[in-house]
Amino acid sequence: MRLSLFLVILILLFSLPHPAIAKNFSTVIIDPGHGGNDKGSNWYGIYEKNLTLDLAKRVQRLLKSKGVRTVMTRSTDTYVALDKRAAIANRNSHFVFVSIHFNGHKNTSYRGIETFYYPGSSKGKKLAGKIQHELGTRIKTKNRGIKPARLKVLRLTKGPAVLIECGFLSNRWENKRCNASWLREIIAEEIVQGIMAYR
């Protein structure tokens, strides 16, 4: 009888989701690219720094609604150095780092969304894959995939870290869409879906 009860308890314990599996991070560091005197990409009168901050705030709002703790590397139009952004992240434990950007290129035909991770980071690659999988599922755009990149902010961040390029401001058609609040809301929702899928 005691052995049977013990086996039942064991089965119940192993059937419950393990905290480390169900919740592999407790905080999301949201990093709106550029800011202050660093305008980022500047095409057709649209500054990247303004779009990244708006999108980051949307991501923060959606994550908070799901009970996820968030930290913003900047919440106003101020410049924050790359090493300071990583330092803000590294003060936390059990976090993922999501840097938000918009692209630009001299070839104005380029368009689409892509996500970068630091080479050799398996967790960063997995996070990038989950987010990129969700991006563009509800809007017509080019999926440029996930790519390794030795970007300073990714290198200095100790937790799983990604940098998302949410569209090319240099492409006039995509610029107009990125400047639309409805599109940034969809992108925010997809980024959050990817983060939660990774979790």
Q: At 124, which CATH number? A: 3.40.630.40
For residue 33, is it within any domain? yes
DSSP 28-53: EEEEE--BTTB---EETTEEHHHHHH
Write down the residue that tokens 């980024």 correspond to.
191
Give the count of beta carbons closer than 10 Å to the beta carbon of residue 178. 23
Rounded CA gap, 79 and 64, in Å? Answer: 25
Write down the residue that tokens 């980022």 correspond to.
40
**Residue 166 in contact with residue 115, Cβ under 8 Å?**
no
For residue 52, is it within any domain? yes
* pLDDT in the model for residue 136: 85
Rounded CA gap, 25 and 3, in Å? Answer: 37
Average pLDDT taken over every residue of the chain: 91
- Band the pLDDT of 17: cuts 50, 70, 90: very low
Rounded CA gap, 98 and 128, in Å? Answer: 9
- Band the pLDDT of 24: cuts 50, 70, 90: confident
More confident residue, 43 or 23: 43
Percent of the chain residues past pLDDT 90, beyond the cut: 85
* pLDDT in the model for residue 2: 54
* pLDDT in the model for residue 4: 55
> How many domains in the chain?
1
Q: Which domain, by its residues, includes 127?
A: 24-198
Q: Is the entire prediction scored with pTM above 0.95?
A: no
Rounded CA gap, 150 and 167, in Å? Answer: 20
Residue 128 has pLDDT above 50, yes or no: yes
For residue 121, is it within any domain? yes
